[in-house]
């Protein structure tokens, strides 16, 4: 028995097969082309407020880790407070906004501050707290200040004042130890604790007043 197939019966199947292969190649080709030309959109530049918050977080981390001394922190926060004051004045003069030139100036100042934060955190100066009660109190005060910076409860200006106060106490302790073979007398310890009590109240009051870090775009 012989079978005969009409070419018209075979043709649709052949066309269908060819079409399937062609579509598959197109899809593959299109996918490759798309993959080759896919580009990642550049990340948006941080706003003035975001940069300010980032700088404060870096300072807070440096305070808590001991990489920044009280004196270094005071200087950094004084610079930050100056930038913030200038920004507020510029906004007030321009209906609450910054001009393109003012934004450029602020970013330039924040770049300089950023380098200073890095240098201060990576130099040889560190806050040595020690294992004594005096050292533990000092570390506790620094932790509270660092938390206040991160939470926004402490402004840059308030932090600078608090760190100046800590710097003064630290210098006094250092001088007393140098005069007494590395130790503090009972009277000196009592005096340091009295000063830290005053500093503690100051930290509390500044963290709970109406002044807070309020970033604006």
User: What are 171-198's pLDDT values in tens digits?
Assistant: 999 999 999 999 999 999 999 999 999 9
Which of the 8 DSSP states describes residue 161? H
Evaluate whether 146 touches 64 at the Cβ level (below 8 Å): yes
Query: What confidence score (pLDDT) does residue 129 get?
Result: 77
Confidence of residue 213 (pLDDT cuts 50, 70, 90): confident
Tokens 């321009």 -> residue: 94
Which of the 8 DSSP states describes residue 92? H
CA dist., res. 6 & res. 10, Å (int): 7
Q: Has residue 147 been placed in a domain?
A: yes
Across 133-157, average pLDDT = 95
| SS3 label, residue 97 | coil
> What total number of domains does the chain contain?
1
Q: Does residue 25 have a pLDDT over 50?
A: no
Q: Has residue 200 been placed in a domain?
A: yes
For residue 41, with 0-12 CB atoms within 10 Å meaning exposed, 13-18 middle and 19 or more buried, which class applies?
Answer: exposed
Q: Has residue 132 been placed in a domain?
A: yes
**Residue-wise pLDDT tens digits, 32-49:** 444 555 667 777 788 999
For 95, the domain range is 48-207
Q: Does residue 166 have a pLDDT over 60?
A: yes
- Is this model's pTM higher than 0.85 or not? no
Q: Does residue 128 have a pLDDT over 50?
A: yes
Q: What's the full length of the chain, in residues?
A: 217
Q: Which helix (H) or strand (E) holds 121?
A: helix 100-121
Mean of the per-residue pLDDT values of the chain: 85
Q: Has residue 4 been placed in a domain?
A: no
Query: What confidence score (pLDDT) does residue 36 get?
Result: 55
């Amino acid at each position: 028995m012989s079978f005969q197939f009409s070419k018209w019966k075979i043709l649709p199947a052949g066309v269908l097969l060819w079409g399937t292969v062609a579509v598959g190649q197109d899809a593959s080709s299109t996918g490759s082309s798309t993959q080759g030309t896919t580009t990642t959109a550049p990340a948006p530049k941080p706003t003035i407020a975001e940069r300010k918050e980032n700088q404060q977080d870096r300072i807070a981390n440096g305070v808590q880790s001991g990489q920044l001394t009280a004196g270094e922190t005071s200087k950094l926060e004084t610079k930050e407070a100056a930038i913030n004051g200038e920004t507020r004045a510029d906004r007030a003069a321009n209906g609450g906004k910054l001009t393109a030139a003012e934004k450029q100036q602020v970013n330039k100042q924040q770049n300089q501050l950023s380098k200073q934060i890095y240098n201060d955190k990576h130099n040889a100066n560190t806050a040595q707290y020690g294992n004594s009660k005096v050292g533990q109190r000092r570390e506790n005060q620094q932790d509270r200040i660092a938390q206040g910076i991160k939470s926004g409860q402490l402004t840059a200006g308030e932090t600078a004042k608090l760190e100046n106060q800590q710097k003064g106490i630290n210098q006094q302790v250092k001088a007393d130890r140098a005069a007494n073979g590395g130790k503090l007398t009972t009277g000196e310890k009592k005096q340091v604790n009295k000063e830290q009590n005053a500093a503690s109240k100051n930290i509390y009051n500044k963290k709970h007043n109406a002044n807070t870090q309020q970033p604006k775009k």
